[in-house]
Structure 1
Amino acid sequence: MGHSDVKGAKLVAEAAVGLRQLNERSREIFKRIVETYLETGEPVGSRNLSRALPMTLSPASVRNVMSDLESLGLIYAPHTSAGRLPTQTGLRLFIDGLLEIGDITEAERSQIESRMAVGGRNRAIEDFFAEAGEMLSGLSRCAGVVLVDKQSKRLRQVEFVNLGGGKALAVLVGEDGDVENRIVTIPPGLPPTALNEATNYINARIGGLTLAEARIRIEAEIEAHRAQLDELTARVVTEGLATWSGDGGDRQSLIVCGRAHLLEDVRVMEDLERVRLLFEDLDAKKDLIHLLGLAERADGVRIFIGSENKLFSLSGSALIVSPFADTEQKIVGVLGVIGPTRLNYARIIPMVDYTARLLGRLAP
């Protein structure tokens, strides 16, 4: 954890202590400030707050409470405005402690189920996950993101094709019909029949296995000298499997859908700059893959806000994501949405959670 991360965690911890010590009217005022921000994006002043509160308080009394909230680091005054907005720390504490999370409507539930059921029957697996991202993007009016572990793909067959010059094309076909090609290096002195031998050897062992399972099984067999392959052919087999498996981000497929939704609520140049920075963040796929990888280890929905993570430190954005598992309860990916920090968290959190749980049951 870096110095800025430690400092941020300390601020949140200190503010959380202060929040627990607030009386009922202070909590109510803080809650109204955050809810107004999430609904309108605008700062709210003491006069409007005093009219909206369920208890009778003068604008002067409200200003005193707002001053206390500001000293705790929960709200701040943007520019010279008399109104207040929640700080990033305040927004995080509101989401963790005061947010009343709703549930998705029956209409939304039916829409999600019908689109995913059709996708699971008729589409290649990456198209299926892209459909999930597009659907979440449309329902939330944010950008949808899906990160899928390629090694969860179940295999049908492979083939090696000699390209000459010490290279071969390794073709992998999944059970869903999806095809991937990789260039592999052929060991010097490889017999002409070795590529066919390698193809037949792998295809006799991989049917229905995932890429990760196939690699473990075949490499163990070769290591134990049970494989009826000469040394050079065995190298072709292991290099082909290793090339498909990849390392780091190469093992994962990132899908980003619905970027245009991020432009729908742009009202001032400051908002436009925020969206421009967010688009740059989305293009930096390595950082985004790393961030989503953190969510793979979470239990349920995880929320990243603004500078809580390196990726969104400049873009004023929020990421709501959840891991999803296959039928054997193995985590195979992450999905969610990216948008401004002013999101309808109460609606989007259960939407992401429901879709993630549904994906595990319906994925092809």
Structure 2
Amino acid sequence: MMSRSFHTIHNSDSARLLTELDERSREIFRYVVESYLSSGDPVGSRNLARILPMQLSPASVRNVMSDLELAGLLYAPHTSAGRMPTERGLRFFVDAMLEIGDLDSEETTRIEAQVAAAATGTSLDSLLAEATVMLSGLTRGAGVVVTGKQNPQLKHIEFVRLDPARALVVLVGEDGHVENRLLDLPPGLPSSALIEAGNFLNARIRGLTLAELRAEVEERRASMESELDSLVSGLIDAGLAVSVGASEGRQLIVRGQANLLDDLRAAEDLDRIRLLFADLETQKDVIDLLSRAENGEGVRIFIGSENKLFSLSGSSMIAAPFHDSNQAILGVVGVIGPTRLNYARIVPMVDYTARVVSRMLERGR
């Protein structure tokens, strides 16, 4: 079994259902769900009676399926059809019945090799982009990652005037990454104040992150205000505020959307995929959803209308956080696809990918 857990969302509902269903109902439900995840088709009572390990007539199976439908776990997509799991049924299956094993050696080797190859570069973005490409290829879903909480150590800060009312705060990291942030200037601020503010901060950077530098300035506020005039002190506060706030922005990477077109079964499937593509274009909602997976270790599974993002497209997401050498969570990597994702196979893939990315970041790539 996996060495890390995966976290569920509706544990109390699933726990109650598990106690209410007898062994026969659970077994029939399991076969319906597993058949649906494999084929995408509804399952009829006659076919189910032939493959069940217990001796039951089609009529008995049909009665149990009717009870499961009344419980909100199954539904019939149209008259005279077999049954398929509802979103509530899929949640119950994932929470209470999903059996997750280890990846085989070929899969772990491929994940490690592709992430390691990307890790030889200097860009964290290239590492994460390759991880999403690899996941989308392995799972035939869309690979996604959200990041942006990384706090690089700073090498240099400079205030560059653009015009009398605006300046750029130029942030140079130890890794060579450069960010420019626009800053409004108070009327009449002399250029010497920009130079003085930069000199003051650069004398104290010493490899600190922005958040750490801001904390140190706050801690030494009394000495700063006695050493500098109020205009320079105000400029330092404003520069650090706009810089720290900007660094907390989130970046979304999505790869492999075309994979979602490979297994269309009907016109309604195409409509669902179009809705999902529209969802993915709404980056803020995707980022907000992925960010929910940062709460705690392990894999999170989001199914269909449990969240507003997938309420129309009926999609699912499997995601896990990755972290740096200080165990600080830097982002989330995952897979988005239809609700009939192969959860048993994809959960350990996402989990292992997150662990490999974390390991590369711990080693400094």
Alpha-carbon distance between aligned partners in 2 of 1:330 and 1:13, rounded to the nearest angstrom: 30
Alpha-carbon distance between aligned partners in 2 of 1:211 and 1:84, rounded to the nearest angstrom: 56
Other-structure match for 1:231: 230
* Unaligned runs of at least 5 residues, structure 1: 1-8
Other-structure match for 2:354: 356
Residue pair 1:124, 1:176 contacting (<8 A) in 2 also? no
Specify which of 292, 297, 300 is matched with residue 298 of structure 2: 300
Which amino acid is the alignment partner of residue 144 of structure 2? V
When residues 132 and 207 of structure 1 are mapped into structure 2, their CA distance, relative to the original with a 3 A threshold, is farther
Alpha-carbon distance between aligned partners in 2 of 1:78 and 1:46, rounded to the nearest angstrom: 14
Other-structure match for 1:266: 264
State the Cα RMSD in Å: 2.4
Alpha-carbon distance between aligned partners in 1 of 2:111 and 2:223, rounded to the nearest angstrom: 48
When residues 197 and 116 of structure 1 are mapped into structure 2, their CA distance, relative to the original with a 3 A threshold, is farther
Q: TM-score, normalised by structure 1?
A: 0.89
Alignment coverage as a number of residue pairs: 355
Residue pair 2:154, 2:171 contacting (<8 A) in 1 also? yes
Other-structure match for 1:153: 152
Larger RCO of the pair (alpha carbons < 8 Å, separation 6+): 2
When residues 327 and 83 of structure 1 are mapped into structure 2, their CA distance, relative to the original with a 3 A threshold, is same
Pair 1:329 & 2:331 matched: no
Pair 1:252 & 2:250 matched: yes
Other-structure match for 1:192: 191
Pair 1:63 & 2:62 matched: yes
Q: Percent identity among equivalent residues?
A: 57
Alpha-carbon distance between aligned partners in 1 of 2:183 and 2:333, rounded to the nearest angstrom: 32
Tell me how far 1:140 sits from its aligned partner.
1.5
Residue pair 2:148, 2:248 contacting (<8 A) in 1 also? no
For each residue in 1:204-230, what CA deviation from the matched residue of structure 2 results, as whole angstroms up to 9, or x when unmatched?
Answer: 333433332222223333365378433
Other-structure match for 2:81: 82
Other-structure match for 1:316: 314
Q: TM-score, normalised by structure 2?
A: 0.89
Specify which of 317, 327, 345 is matched with residue 347 of structure 1: 345
Which amino acid is the alignment partner of residue 68 of structure 1? D
Alpha-carbon distance between aligned partners in 2 of 1:16 and 1:164, rounded to the nearest angstrom: 63
Pair 1:132 & 2:135 matched: no
Alpha-carbon distance between aligned partners in 1 of 2:34 and 2:224, rounded to the nearest angstrom: 65
* Unaligned runs of at least 5 residues, structure 2: 1-7
Other-structure match for 1:4: none
Other-structure match for 1:39: 38
Alpha-carbon distance between aligned partners in 1 of 2:125 and 2:237, rounded to the nearest angstrom: 25
For each residue in 1:212-269, what CA deviation from the matched residue of structure 2 results, as whole angstroms up to 9, or x when unmatched?
Answer: 222222333336537843322232322222222226x952222222222222212322
Alpha-carbon distance between aligned partners in 2 of 1:216 and 1:191, rounded to the nearest angstrom: 26
Other-structure match for 1:182: 181
Which amino acid is the alignment partner of residue 264 of structure 1? D
For each residue in 1:309-349, what CA deviation from the matched residue of structure 2 results, as whole angstroms up to 9, or x when unmatched?
Answer: 12111110001111222111122211111111110111111
Alpha-carbon distance between aligned partners in 1 of 2:15 and 2:77, rounded to the nearest angstrom: 22
Tell me how far 1:188 sits from its aligned partner.
2.2
Residue pair 1:221, 1:227 contacting (<8 A) in 2 also? no
Aligned to 1:342, the other structure's residue is in SS state coil
For each residue in 1:1-47, what CA deviation from the matched residue of structure 2 results, as whole angstroms up to 9, or x when unmatched?
Answer: xxxxxxxx9x9856653432323222111101000111111101011
Which amino acid is the alignment partner of residue 259 of structure 2? H
Pair 1:107 & 2:106 matched: yes
Residue pair 1:75, 1:87 contacting (<8 A) in 2 also? yes
Other-structure match for 1:291: 289
